[in-house]
Amino acid sequence: MKIINTVKDMQLEARDIIKSSQTHGFVPTMGNLHEGHLSLIRKAAEENDVVSVSIFVNPSQFEDPADLEEYPRTVEDDIEAASEAGADIIFLPEAEDMYSERRDTVVLPNKLTEHLCGLSRGKAHFIGVCTVVAKLFNIFLPSKAYFGQKDAQQALIIQRMVIDLNFPVEIVISPIIREEDGLAMSSRNARIKEGRRESALSLYRALNIGREMIEKQGIETSSEIINAMAESILENDGVEIDYIDIVSTETLEDAEKVDDVVMIAGAIRLDDDLRLIDNILTAPGGK
Nearer Cβ to ligand AMP (177/206):
177
Contacts for 245 with CB less than 8 Å, ≥ 6 apart: 115, 116, 226, 254, 264, 265, 266
User: Which residue, 140 or 147, has its beta carbon nearer to ligand AMP?
Assistant: 147
SS3 92: coil
* Least distance CB 267 / ligand AMP (angstroms): 14
CB of 238 to ligand AMP, least distance (A): 23
243 touches 266 (CB < 8 A) = yes
Nearer to ligand AMP, 135 or 150 (CB): 150
Of 47 and 220, CB closest to ligand AMP:
47
**Burial (CB count <10 Å: 0-12, 13-18, 19+), residue 95:** exposed
CB of 217 to ligand AMP, least distance (A): 28
Angstrom distance (rounded) from CA 3 to CA 151: 27
169 contacts: CB under 8 Å, gap ≥ 6: 26, 137, 142, 143, 144, 145, 162
Q: Which of 24, 34, 37, 125 is catalytic?
A: 37
Question: Which residues are near ligand AMP by CB under 6 A?
Answer: 29-30, 36-37, 39-40, 147-148, 150-151, 174, 176-177, 184-187
Contact status, residue 238 vs residue 199, Cβ threshold 8 Å: yes
Q: Any residues with CB less than 8 A from the CB of 77 and at least 6 apart, and which?
A: 33
125 is catalytic: no
Comparing CB distances to ligand AMP, the nearer of 29 and 236 is 29
User: Could you tell me where the beta strands, DSSP code E, fall in the chain?
Assistant: 2-4, 24-29, 50-55, 89-91, 144-148, 170-174, 239-248, 262-270, 274-282
- Residue number of the CB atom closest to ligand AMP: 148
* Minimum distance of ligand AMP from residue 118's CB (angstroms): 16
Tell me which residues are annotated as active site: 37
